[in-house]
Amino acid sequence: MTVVFLSASVPDPARDPAYFDSSDVIAIRDAVRALATVVLPKGRLVWGGHPAITPLIRVVAEGIGATRAESVTLYQSRFFRKDIPADNTAFERVVWTRSARGNRERSLAILRREMLASERFDAGIFVGGMEGVEAEFDLFKQMQPAAAAVPIASTGAAAARIFERNRQQFPAELETNLAYPSLFRGILGSRPGRG
């Protein structure tokens, strides 16, 4: 079974316009839906519950009957316990990580470390996002050195920044290919998986 980590978010223009201005929100949504469609029938998807991303995965997962623990693992920090969207209840396996006494950044750091140490991933896919996606890319590379770490640059924002600073390591199609289902099949098909 192929196990894929997803790091994705839709940039918030109020937090950092530079990420928002370079993002392609439609491409972010399309990429997330396509990844779930490709991974969930035979693999497992793990992600940190961003309120703009979880509903997209929920629609795909419910549509193919893949909301059980063997298909998905959704991580959430207790820091956000009061703001959790109803979409989270669709998933059988939600892992709550501890909050760092009201400190948002430290709480997110705890969540990221626990999530990325939870198992051996075959690949990490990075879509859109802001500084959190960049931080998760760097941490993923450190904690999962044998896994493919793939920024989908065509979605813009943090994924495009990651691609730019490591351009020589990635195929150019990550910047131009919007046929996400076939792109993900190609990326994940080249990974051996475990099953």
State residue 187's pLDDT score: 94
State residue 195's pLDDT score: 43
For the whole model, what pTM was predicted? Answer: 0.94
CB 133 within 8 A of CB 9: yes
State residue 20's pLDDT score: 93
DSSP 68-131: STTTEEEEEEGGGGGG--GGGGG-S-EEEEPPBTTBHHHHHHHHHHHHHHSS--SEEEEEE--H
State residue 27's pLDDT score: 98
Torsion of CA 13, 18, 20, 24, to 10 degrees: 170
* Distance of alpha carbon 71 from alpha carbon 167, whole angstroms: 32
State residue 192's pLDDT score: 46
pLDDT in tens, the chain (195 residues): 899 999 999 999 889 899 999 999 999 999 999 999 999 999 999 999 888 999 999 999 999 999 998 999 999 999 888 777 788 889 999 999 999 887 999 999 999 999 999 999 999 999 999 999 999 999 999 999 999 999 999 999 999 999 999 999 999 999 999 999 999 999 998 554 444
State residue 190's pLDDT score: 59
State residue 107's pLDDT score: 94
User: What are the backbone dihedrals phi and psi of residue 44, each rounded to the nearest 5 degrees, phi first?
Assistant: -135, 140
b/e code 175-186 from CB counts within 10 Å (16+ = b): beeeebeebbee
Query: Amino acid letter at 10?
Result: V
State residue 81's pLDDT score: 80
Residue 151, classed as helix, strand or coil, is strand
